Amino acid sequence: MIDIFWLCYLGILAITAFVILIKVGYKTTFGILDFVFSIITWIGLFGYVTNNQILTPIVWQFVFVSGLLMDFVFGFKKFNEGVNDDEPQSVKLIIFGITFIILLGPLYFGLFNYAFK
């Protein structure tokens, strides 16, 4: 039953990424690189959910660390581009942190378990 929730989560991530790709597009090299890292992390999460070893754990350890760093950097970059000066910086950072944890927390939880256990 839990596998179904993981697969639904994977589907939601994939659909949102492809909708962003079609509607907005990744116009910068950094955006394209982030999209490629996203696809690689989804493959790792798929391996975790289906309990299949796709690549060696050292590869997934590298993907986990680099993907997490890439998402933080890309997230803060986008966060700073859309800054509205009406709200305090601390409130914006809290909203960013909560959103990041809710949307990407399960992805990196599964990828961590796949890479390090």
CA R_g for the chain: 15
Per-residue model confidence (pLDDT) at position 64? 93
Number of domains in the chain: 1
**Mean pLDDT score, 34-53:** 86
What pLDDT band is residue 113 in, cutting at 50, 70 and 90? Answer: very high
Q: Distance (Å, rounded) from C-alpha 45 to C-alpha 79?
A: 26
Contact 99, 78 (CB under 8 A): no
Convert the pLDDT of each residue in 46-96 to its tens digit: 888 888 888 899 999 999 999 888 888 877 777 666 656 676 777 777 877
Helix axes 29-50 and 89-116, enclosed angle (nearest 10): 50
Residue 107 DSSP SS3: helix
Q: What percent of the chain has pLDDT over 70?
A: 90
Count of H-run helices and E-run strands, the chain = 4, 0
Report whether 10 contacts 54 (CB < 8 A): no
pTM of the full predicted structure?
A: 0.79
Domain that holds residue 89: 2-116
- Average model confidence (pLDDT) across the chain: 83
Among 16-20, 63-67, 106-110, name the one with the lowest average pLDDT. Answer: 16-20
Q: How far apart, in whole angstroms, are the C-alpha atoms of residue 8 and residue 11?
A: 5
